[in-house]
Structure 1
């Protein structure tokens, strides 16, 4: 059967091109085989000019880049210029006959691209093509490390390739190499954090670390729109402090869910047995209005197994922050539990960073606090994939106001482009190292100076001293008339003046830190 690889277009899947051009690579394959997949963030086309044009998620190549209008032509173009989109490739391989792929390999048995295509077909579908093992030729990487981040790779003698995919067929997000990620990695934030910590006395560092844990725990609940009691915040903070101590497995995920939920009476613990979505309900009909639809219950066991395998593989291969982003955002898209997914998703960032030794010993970066500071960007990053996934999910409402997914969506949670997520998490980690860690340490130093000055002047209980500090901080370093007439009416004018001078000398311009 011949497939229409289309001609010049202005719009592709509701996305305008910078100029009229002919889709190529993944875009051409999606069109020709009518593949029901989330459209990749970045697409390619062949234009008429003799220079490459980029914009609005498109790269318009010159006529000399044009591939043959065939399955092999566009597959080769995709692997050469676009990198891997495993969701597109798997749906493509499901749509073509096995003999078509086998014929490509027979025609070019030593070809760099045909051997990669051959391996990917068997890896993604778990089916062996009717082909003899490859002749002895130089092995080639499955993932082009000029385009995407990859693992170290294990050789496949059958295909003469190095399988440097960072995950398994059950879960394998990929991240593209970008200028932003190159810059983050070049800054060596791991060593920068250690340099900051090395200048802090041990007792002060312990107090800083304890405050940052509490700050992160509280922020994680605030992101979810919750205001839990202090004991739950502290309990979750203690859990974050233990992140990375044990390898990830299903029992550990269930343990974390129990800590997050606390009260188990109205939430079924463990993997969901029903559908799930993020969004609202229509006020009148109670019909779901989803912003994101979670993975089907029947796919959860496989997806969670894939998450765990990815975490174990990433321990020694992927950059720690990139691995943390792929794992954590993959988890939240899957949404395996009825409740607690958001907090566990952010916990997994701590888990990977701590497990890989990215944090200085005893310190956990307040990633949730950094996320809360840029909450709109966080939601935008989440939607960078959810908005492309949602149109592909066929569903019906249930009587309970939930969703029942009608089509096979598992692959859309296994394979996604985690590049925006990695860039976002790196920005958050940098903020915690450059701002939160030194700011909190400086604040505690200044507070110790302030407390010592007060104690040398007046015998005051800790609770009263903290209250005094609170009034000064709220009022720009001055005691308000209300404070002077009530809680601190016993202070003399001279004491008030000295206290305000002490606050100013201790904190200066840092009173808002």
Structure 2
């Protein structure tokens, strides 16, 4: 590509030691997205990793920075930094849209006219029209090999659609209304290579049908109960069962707003003090100041006037755009995009975890009629879950301008819709894959093995003494609580009818089975 003068050279700074309170590992020159954010004062959350040109002749990563060598440097121009960003940093839709709004169509048109067959120019041309929604005054491309919008070596793409106007392959996984992106990290490649869906099917292949049905029912109830527990709620058993039934049907209905509203009614139950439907006011996650009641937000939700557009983008991603992605990666983008948007007054967290099941089931990742207890895995690592949520919300919060309302809520003052449309879902995909791996490699075989052992224990006890199922379960609970020994209190009270010889045989049976 031939570099041209674009009139913006004076905007780009020289060597710096810090950028927006983020210290650099060494004195270096901002490049790529960092340089563009700095030069055009773009009010966007910073990418998780920023780039700079260091003085050393080695490339290294440290504390949120990737330091490149002097030979990687591009001219200090709009074109130079855009080219660097696409080549080395991938596509950042949020930064690019803010930049396109800041510079207008002229510089992008000039870039394309200067190198009409250049792959970077054509990708930028496509991205401008896709993000801004307005065609540039340019004739259709007639030459240049088709190039993918997302480099699959950098980011996960969907099945490509040809754009003959730009001669590009549009492999973006979403639409302009909602399109989270995920980088192709070594960790995610390793997860995908495990083929966890096949592992799950292999684990269950030898399980008898009746035992499989009982395993599925237990895991379903476990996931429902865990999803409430994550929100520090411990509802009545019938409410847990109703939500478990809804989870068990995940993936059977196409996702749209009406379906989400139906699910919200199920998960809330008693709605006397909750307004059902999309929020009409602002929303946040956090606390209130004890004395004044002022909001202390950790995360601020999307503005109510943006919710219809965002929900259309999210549900369309679920129905079509995200279907050709890896199922776990698609589930992460869908579910975490929903929870960041926080469209409802209440029920968002449980619906967010429902969407994980929906995406996995709809894409056939789960074995038939089997739900992986992802919520139970999340519950066991709540700290990691919160860090995953904060991987974006902490970077987002400083860029939301808001004021408190008299009712202790927040009123957002700036345009924030794009913050929820385009985010880096890589940490979310990695975390979700860890949860799915645990459910398949640990929870699923453990629960199946437990039920086999339970049956063996029940049959062994039945050979000694007739005992109702409820009494047997109580006996087993006492033994488990006391390392396989029936306590003196239990022998003297609930199980005083057992002879010492029967107690000894039952304890021996427990030790041999469990």
Classify the TM-score, shorter chain. over 0.9
Q: How far apart in 2 are the matches of 1:341 and 1:97?
A: 37
Q: Give the aligned partner of residue 101 of structure 1.
A: 108
Quote the Cα distance in structure 2 between the aligned partners of 1:11 and 1:230: 54
Q: Following the alignment from structure 1 to structure 2, what is the Cα–Cα distance between the partners of residues 314 and 378?
A: 26
SS in 1 for 2:271: coil
Aligned twin of 2:456: 449
Is 1:205 the equivalent of 2:209? no
Alpha-carbon distance between aligned partners in 1 of 2:92 and 2:477, rounded to the nearest angstrom: 54
> 1:457 aligns to what SS in structure 2?
coil
Match status 1:313 vs 2:337: no
* Correspondence for 1:239: 246
What residue ranges of structure 2 are gaps of 5+ in the alignment? Answer: 1-6
Q: Which residue of 1 aligns with 2:59?
A: 52
Question: What is the CA deviation profile of residues 245-280 of structure 1, one whole-angstrom value per residue up to 9, with x for unaligned ones?
Answer: 011111111111011000121111111110000000
Asked if residue 500 in structure 1 is aligned to residue 511 in structure 2, the reply is: no
Q: Distance in 2 between matches of 1:136 and 1:15?
A: 43
- 1:143 aligns to 2:153 (yes or no): no
Contact 2:158 2:322 in 1 (8 A): no
Is this contact kept in 2: 1:314–1:323, CA < 8 A?
no
- Root mean square deviation, CA, Å: 0.9
Are residues 1:413 and 2:415 paired? no
From 431, 434, 447, the counterpart of 2:441: 434
- What is the alpha-carbon distance in structure 1 between the residues aligned to residue 168 and residue 467 of structure 2? 72
Distance in 2 separating the partners of 1:147 and 1:462: 56
CA distance in 2, matches of 1:168, 1:18: 37
Whole-angstrom CA distance in 1 between matches of 2:110 and 2:11:
20
Q: Which residue number in structure 2 is paired with residue 222 of structure 1?
A: 229
Find the aligned partners of 1:296 and 1:460 in 2 and give their Cα distance. Answer: 59
User: Quick check: 1:315–1:355 contact (8 Å CA) kept in 2?
Assistant: no
Is 2:174 aligned against 1:167? yes
Q: Which secondary structure does the structure 1 equivalent of 2:136 belong to?
A: coil
Aligned to 1:277: 284
Among residues 445, 462, 468, which one is paired with 1:461 in the alignment?
468
Give, in angstroms, the shift of residue 97 of structure 1.
2.4
1:185 maps to 192
Residue number among 284, 295, 298 corresponding to 2:302 in the alignment = 295
Deviation at 1:50, TM superposition (A): 1.3
Decide whether the 8 Å contact of 2:175 with 2:321 is kept in 1.
no
Match of 2:120 in 1: 113
Q: Could you tell me which residue of structure 2 aligns to residue 42 of structure 1?
A: 49
Q: Structure 1's 315 and 113: CA in aligned 2 closer, same or farther, altered over 3 A?
A: closer
Task: Count how many residue pairs are aligned between Structure 1 and Structure 2.
Answer: 507
SS of residue matched to 1:22: strand
Q: Deviations over 1:375-401 (max 9, x none)?
A: 100000000000000000000111111
Determine helix, strand or coil for the equivalent of 1:10: strand
1:311 Cα deviation from its structure 2 partner: 1.0
Instruction: State the Cα distance separating 1:104 from its structure 2 match.
Output: 0.8
Partner of 2:4: none
Cα distance in 1 for residues equivalent to 2:122 and 2:474:
70
Residue from 38, 60, 72 that aligns with 1:65: 72
The answer as to whether partners of 1:17 and 1:58 remain within 8 angstroms in 2 is: yes
Aligned equivalents of 1:136 and 1:180: distance in 2? Answer: 38
**4+ residue segments displaced more than 6 Å:** none
Contact 1:166 1:313 in 2 (8 A): no
d(CA) in 1 for partners of 2:66, 2:199: 36
After TM superposition, the score normalised by the length of structure 2 is 0.98
Q: Structure 2 vs 1, CA of residues 212 and 314 (structure 1 numbering), >3 Å: closer, same or farther?
A: farther
